Structure formats: C-alpha cells, structure tokens
A and B are shown apart, each in its own frame.
Chain A
Amino acid sequence: MIWIALTVVALTLGAALLVLLLDNLLAAVAAASVVSLGVSVMFVILQAPDVAMTEAAVGAGLSSLILALALRRLGLIRLAVGGDAGNDDA
C-alpha cells in the first residue's frame, strides 16, 4: 500500500510541477486536473471516500472544465493542430 501511495504522491507532485512549467495553458489545465485526481486517489487510500468523490467531481472534473471554458472565452487556447489556430475563439 505504501508503494501505491508513494507513486500517487510522486505523480501528483510531478503534475503540480508541470502546471507551473508548461507553456500551453490548456495542457496546464489538464495537469491541474491530474493533480486533483491524484489527491482524490490519496483520499481513497486514506479511507475518506466522501471527500474523494467531491475532489474527483469538483476538482478534477468541474474546476478544470471551468478553467478550460474560461481559456476558450478569453481566446487563450492555442492548438498546434492544423493551420487555423486562433480562428476558433469567440
């Protein structure tokens, strides 16, 4: 069990570092979602399923969705696919 916990902690810390280091804002949002997912797995390991469900639903799902939508609304999403980057924003 301790190895699972250590792996999850390493994953969470790595994702948290990625949030700071990534240039692509959408990728940073995804990394922040991974941080929440790791934290929610830690809550399961610590036998707090209620908190884990809240963290998974709100932290990993909703807040990253809101951040991504805010990025889209502000026109900050730069997708490196195809040639029409920047034409998709509002």
Chain B
Amino acid sequence: MRSLATLLFLGGLVFLLTILTGALPFGEPPMLVGDAIQKAAADEVGAANFVTAVVLAYRGLDTLGELSILFAAATAGGLVLGSAQGGSNRRPAGFIMRAGTDLLFPLLLVVGLYIVMHGHLTPGGGFQGGVVLAAAFFLPLLARPSETLSHAWLSLVEGLAGTAFIAIGALALLDDKAFLTPLLNKGVLGELVSGGSLPLLYLAVGLKVGAELASLLSRLASDEATS
C-alpha cells in the first residue's frame, strides 16, 4: 500500500514536471556567457583549459566556497569518527594486495600530481587530482592496516594549502584588483608555466583536497576508538 502511494506520488510528480517543462521554451533566451567566455578567456586568463579559467578566474569565489564546504564536511566527519590513534589491528592483506599497492602507489602519485599540475592545460585539476592523491596515500593503509598516516602532517598541509589559496586571492587586493584576480605573467597559451597564478591556485586546491580526503579515509578505515 505504501509503495503504491509512493508510485502514485512519483507519477504525479513526473506528470507535473512534464507539463511544466513542456510549456517552457527550450533554449530561450540563448546563453551568451559561454560564447563570451570562449572568445575572451584565452586573452584575459591565459589558461588553455577554459573550464579552469571559469573555475579559478571568473568564478574563483565559488571555488573558495566549494573548498570551505569540503572542509566543513571533512571536519564534521572527523568529529563524528573520532581521532584515529594507532591504526587498525586487522590482519595484513594478502600478497597480491600488498604487491599491487607497491606497484600502484608511485603510479597514482604521478597521475595525481600530473592532473593537478596540468589543470590549466588539460581536463582535470585540483579536485580530481586531489582525489587521486588521497587514494594513492590511502592504498597502503588497506594493504598494511597497522600503519597510520600522520594526521599532524595532513592537518599542516591542509591548513597551509587553504591559507595559500586565500593569500594568493588576497594578493590581488594589494593591486587594487578584485579578490582572486589572476596575477603574474600569463605566458604563452598552452605551455606548462602559463596562466599566471592559476597553476599555484590549483596546486593549493589539490593539496588541500588530497590531505582532507586522505585524513577522512584513514579515520574511516581505523578501528573504532575503544577508550
């Protein structure tokens, strides 16, 4: 009976949404922002990946908000999960897991750093690369549960990266520009050192996301605090 009511409710919702969207004109009014950004981004920002130009230059403040949301979530998770002291007393994983981890760790590290460093050139960036980095540092914990990540170091990296992001953004204020305006020389479009301060910003984002998620994952993997 309850599932029937749910089904009826869902059917009504779909009907309502169909009527509503059917009455709206599709593609009206035309979005002009995308075209304008595609024309202007290469000259104004100097990042070959226009998505990065939007994420860090035109809408840098949104990224700061995203970072703070992630920070709040990781902090709340850490608060709920408690401090991870002394790792887990599970048995070590089997040979295949341990050997595979040893093989994958450097690969994941290189891929994660590559994605972070080339965020202004190719698809990807600080968030994606940061997740890959967190996975790289979490894998050894799965293979050898007795080991732990140093949470003091992770907090230090996270705090410094977050401070660096805000500091780079605030430096633009000294120049009488808006917060998070790209600084430094734009360089040649498509080269590794280009786009002004965008690679630095993405490096900060990558380190912050990686440290936060690695700390969250290691807390989740550790045993319940018994004391």
Interface residues of A, Cβ cutoff 8 Å to B: 49-50, 52-54, 57-58, 61-62, 65-66, 69-70, 73, 88, 90
Q: How large is the interface on B (under 10, 10 to 19, 20 to 34, 35 or more residues)?
A: 20 to 34
The 29 sampled A-B contact pairs (Cβ below 8 Å) are A49-B123, A49-B124, A50-B49, A50-B51, A50-B123, A50-B125, A50-B128, A52-B123, A53-B123, A53-B124, A53-B128, A54-B127, A57-B127, A57-B131, A58-B128, A61-B131, A61-B135, A62-B131, A62-B213, A65-B135, A65-B138, A65-B217, A66-B220, A69-B217, A69-B221, A73-B220, A73-B224, A90-B88, A90-B223
Residues in B whose Cβ lies below 8 Å from that of A88: 90
Main SS of the interface on chain B?
helix
Q: In the complex the two chains form, is B124's CB within 8 Å of A50's CB?
A: yes
Residues in A whose Cβ lies below 8 Å from that of B124: 49-50, 53
Q: Does B198 contact A (CB under 8 A)?
A: no
Q: A57-B132, A62-B135, A88-B90 are in contact. Are A70 and B127 (CB under 8 A)?
A: no
Q: In the complex the two chains form, is B115's CB within 8 Å of A53's CB?
A: yes
Give CA–CA (A73, B225) in the complex, Å: 11
Give CA–CA (A40, B134) in the complex, Å: 20
Q: In the complex the two chains form, is A69's CB within 8 Å of B115's CB?
A: no
Known contacts A50-B123, A53-B128; 5 additional CB pairs below 8 A are: A54-B128, A57-B128, A57-B132, A58-B127, A61-B131
Residues in A whose Cβ lies below 8 Å from that of B51: 50
Give CA–CA (A49, B123) in the complex, Å: 6
Q: In the complex the two chains form, is A69's CB within 8 Å of B128's CB?
A: no
